Structure 1
Amino acid sequence: MANTPQARKRIRRNEKRSDINTARVSRIRGYVKKVEAAIEGGDKKAAEEALKVAQPELARGVSRGVLHKNTASRKMSRLSKRVAAL
Structure 2
Amino acid sequence: MANTPQAKKRIRRNDRRATINGARVSRIRTFIKQLETALAAGDKDQAAAAMKKVQPELARGVAKGVFHKNTAARKISRLTKRVAALG
TM-score of the two chains, using structure 2 as the length reference = 0.98
Percent same amino acid at aligned positions? Answer: 67
* C-alpha displacement of 1:45: 0.2
Counterpart in 1 of 2:76? 76
Amino acid at match of 1:18: A
Question: What do you get for the CA RMSD once the two structures are aligned?
Answer: 0.3
Residues 1:12 and 2:12 are matched in the alignment: yes
Counterpart in 2 of 1:21? 21
Task: Count how many residue pairs are aligned between Structure 1 and Structure 2.
Answer: 86
* C-alpha displacement of 1:49: 0.1
Shift >4 Å, 4+ stretches: none
Structure 2: distance between partners of 1:74 and 1:33: 16
* C-alpha displacement of 1:18: 0.3
Alignment of 1:1-86 (within 5 A): 1-86=1-86
Structure 2: distance between partners of 1:80 and 1:53: 12
Name structure 2 gaps, 5 residues minimum: none
Deviations 1:39-78 (CA, angstroms, capped at 9, x unpaired)? 0000000000000011000000000000000000000000
Structure 2: distance between partners of 1:21 and 1:69: 16
TM-score of the two chains, using structure 1 as the length reference = 0.99
Name structure 1 gaps, 5 residues minimum: none
